[in-house]
Structure 1
């Protein structure tokens, strides 16, 4: 279906990606530029405008009916503003208004990157066909989003489902958000790796001390690396179970760089979830890897911008 298209922007601290997406999730045109994250806000906006200029210059642009933005957060969808932690030049930046000007007044929808990933997984990924889902991004931070009653549930500001800041250790380490013992403080890639180092794990000759290196060590049988992943999995399981008890879920989908560890993460995660999700109405909750990969931000931005188009296709 090429008659009605959606333009999508995926804005993060490393890159600004843009695409034209059709009603079946096909990416027809794509472009990207590096994010000048250390520059002032207007310089960052010029990079966004550059991506949009490439999209609007193409022959398919007249078929675009709406624009979706998935942005690193925090976002405030109600006000159309963003304050990404990793883009210091944008604080309460009026992104929706600036994008609207660049796309001749077409409707613009803004969601956080966790909600965008959720929209993508519900439309084209592992949550497809499920009416109640939690989708998580476990990477440098831990974000997420919710599908409730068959619909994306971004909440008033676009941040609903932000599971990373559920506290699962009341006396735990202070989190950057100001609370203690948050899921993110335990399960994010940097904190997972730091815990392994503090416990005595040492990187190989290449000096790689990332979560991916800890995962490789865990796969090779290193007990300290395995213990670090086990603790991260317990924190994630506790957060998933708490969310399931609150809103009743059918499935939890986990993506992001840390999820790339595969069974090193998912085996203890499933085991821990059985220990935390014990009541009858959450006992059948399944947890699976995400499927949409690096296109999740673009697909999710498109889905969030054009719900009826995607819902029609999903029901087909």
Structure 2
């Protein structure tokens, strides 16, 4: 039996991952390159081409019927371009057109990486069976995506749900995005670690100064490390409550490296949500850890093309499928 696969691309500041994904969400063939984030746009595209070269060399490639791309944002699905904040070589880069050329004209769907995670979690993960959910990645940055009315909601440009850049501290630190006091500026891994160090926390003998090391200290009862995670949880809770109040989601799914802190993050987050999600229609908001893991971006990029489930693909007027 001939099987259709989707070629999926997950683009971040550190790696460019590619895969062939089947209709059950299975990842069949993989390829990966480091993102040459500080180099030219063409050099970065070269890494994308190498990933596709590896996938296309596999015999299963003949079954590839479409390409789904989840990229660090912002993206512009209408124009088919990407401008990831942490990849300065790409500003308005025509990624959809270039990928279509590399893959021999396959239709390409582009969404932000947070939208891709939402698609993955709704199809295969913790948001399965939920019609209205916010799915988040808390990592080097903070991103998100929305499932509303049972369908992925990428928005016209593929960025809807980008909760990391809701301002939760009106006079807060300037964020690289240009705004102030953004969720990401407080709750991302590097910003948790930055605040902890500034407040007097010090790494152990191994010199590890990451948020993971802060989380380990917090789990051991270190007061500054604990405060750093409580502060991050409060920022997340304020952004989540605002989002839930605006669009009525009943579930928040949180993945990404910082979520691996477990109860160090989820405990204070649930407590803070009680302070911010106070209206009757958001009081029942549930928080769950993501289930799709490191393959979430790839599975979600594939799901955003409509693979595997009716209604998961972009609706009319939402993120464009270019070249279909």
TM-score category by the smaller chain? over 0.9
CA drift at 1:312: 7.9
CA drift at 1:96: 0.1
Query: Could you say which residue in structure 2 is the equivalent of 1:288?
Result: 288
Cα distance in 2 for partners of 1:129, 1:185 equals 32
> Where does structure 1 lack aligned partners over 5 or more consecutive residues?
none
Query: Could you say which residue in structure 1 is the equivalent of 2:310?
Result: 311
Give me the CA root mean square deviation.
Answer: 1.4
Query: Could you say which residue in structure 2 is the equivalent of 1:101?
Result: 101
Contact 1:2 1:22 in 2 (8 A): no
CA drift at 1:250: 1.5
- TM-score, normalising length: structure 1: 0.95
> Where does structure 2 lack aligned partners over 5 or more consecutive residues?
313-324
Query: Could you say which residue in structure 2 is the equivalent of 1:36?
Result: 36
Q: How is 1:122-271 mapped onto 2 (pairs within 5 angstroms)?
A: 122-271=122-271
How many residue pairs match? The answer is 312
CA drift at 1:57: 2.2
Comparing 232-241 and 200-209, the one that deviates more: 200-209
Q: How is 1:40-59 mapped onto 2 (pairs within 5 angstroms)?
A: 40-59=40-59
Contact 2:8 2:19 in 1 (8 A): yes
CA drift at 1:280: 1.2
Cα distance in 1 for partners of 2:140, 2:62 equals 38
CA drift at 1:58: 1.9
**CA distance 1:150–1:312, shift in 2 (3 Å):** closer
Cα distance in 1 for partners of 2:270, 2:5 equals 39
- Secondary structure (helix, strand or coil) at the match of 1:249 reads coil
Cα distance in 1 for partners of 2:145, 2:305 equals 15
**CA distance 1:155–1:300, shift in 2 (3 Å):** same
Contact 2:151 2:311 in 1 (8 A): no
1:77-106 deviations in Å (ceiling 9; x for gaps): 110001112222211110000000111111
Contact 2:152 2:311 in 1 (8 A): no
Cα distance in 2 for partners of 1:258, 1:108 equals 31
CA drift at 1:110: 0.6
